[in-house]
Structure 1
Amino acid sequence: MLQTSKTFSSFSVKNIEEAKAFYELIGLKTKVGEMGILGLELEGNENIMLYPKDNHEPATFTVLNFPVNNIDEAVDDLIAKGIKFEQYDSEYLKTDEKGISRGEQGPKIAWFKDPSGNILSVLEG
């Protein structure tokens, strides 16, 4: 039964209008639906559902990944729109001045947060 179910992802945000403005800024189509639910309309996927939660606490992991053909172009475009990328400098994870991890293992990836603190990424692949 579940293997034929059309799945979708969802996560909470502090404020739907703030989330709507942010996700439109980064180039996504949005739609506010019943009960104040915000839908992100992504090409090739089912919609992502964002719902308001008064006591929202952002996850400590990436909730949404955006595969891109060229990470430098994607990061530069988002920086031009005012997006700030996370900086990491640990034994296992280092990012460059743009916020891109170019490690030998795994894809080139850069993380940023939405206004509610949810972690998003762009990754080359």
Structure 2
Amino acid sequence: MSQLPGLGKYNIIGFVTIVDVPRAKDFYQNTLGLRLILEEPPFALVFEANGIMLRLGMAKERPPAHGTVLGWQVPEITATVKSLAQAGVRFERYEGMDQDESGIWTSPTGAKVAWFKDPDGNTLSISEHPELKR
């Protein structure tokens, strides 16, 4: 059986739709600390996130999105939540989710997740995965 070429060895590119370009640029660059590498109006703002390309596609309206569209795996979620909250990020609370006072939910596997929205209402997350630590 021949080995399929696959995509596992290549970097992934993230795509998020934005409408309010100046607010999104400020949020992703100054609040989240991502490096803006290219502006391609009227198509996209391109950021670098730890070696991964993130393209914020410019649109007239944001298509409906269900669930989280983009997330970051972080080593210490509590410290990251605190840092982002100090930068002005407001964490979401969801009915029926047993979230702590900071908005962090612990999954049955022990992973911890907190959600927030960007200026266009896209749901983003940060998560800590003890089961993936080596």
Q: What TM-score, normalized to structure 1?
A: 0.85
Deviation at 1:57, TM superposition (A): 3.3
Match of residue 18 from structure 2: 13
Q: In the alignment, is the contact (CA less than 8 A) between 2:106 and 2:113 conserved in 1?
A: yes
**Matching residue within 82, 87, 110 for 1:81:** 87
CA distance in 1, matches of 2:5, 2:95: 41
Gap runs ≥5 in structure 1: none
Pairing 1:29–2:35 present: yes
1:64 corresponds to 2:70: yes
Residue correspondences, number: 122
Cross-structure match for 1:105:
109
- SS of the aligned residue for 2:84 comes to helix
> 1:104 is paired with a residue of what secondary structure?
coil
1:18 partner amino acid: R
Q: Secondary structure at the match of 2:41?
A: helix
Would the alpha carbon gap of residues 105 and 30 (structure 1) be closer, same or farther in structure 2, given more than 3 Å must change? same
The gaps in structure 2 that reach 5 residues or longer are: 130-134
Report the aligned-residue RMSD. Answer: 2.1
Q: Distance in 2 between matches of 1:80 and 1:124?
A: 19
The offset of 1:12, in angstroms, is 0.8
Aligned in 2, Cα 1:58/1:112: closer, same or farther, shift over 3 Å?
Answer: farther
Q: Distance in 1 between matches of 2:40 and 2:88?
A: 30
Match of 2:121, SS state, is coil
Amino acid aligned to 1:19: A
Deviation >4 Å, runs of 4+: 4-7
What whole-Å deviation, never above 9, does each CA across 1:11-67 have from its counterpart, x for those lacking one? 21112211110011111111342234111201132x111111112135121111111
Q: Using the aligned pairs only, state the percent identity.
A: 34
Normalised by the size of structure 2, how large is the TM-score? 0.80
Larger Rg: 2
Partner in structure 2 of residue 3 of structure 1: 6
Given that residues 13 and 55 in structure 2 are in contact (C-alpha distance below 8 angstroms), is that contact kept between their aligned partners in structure 1? yes
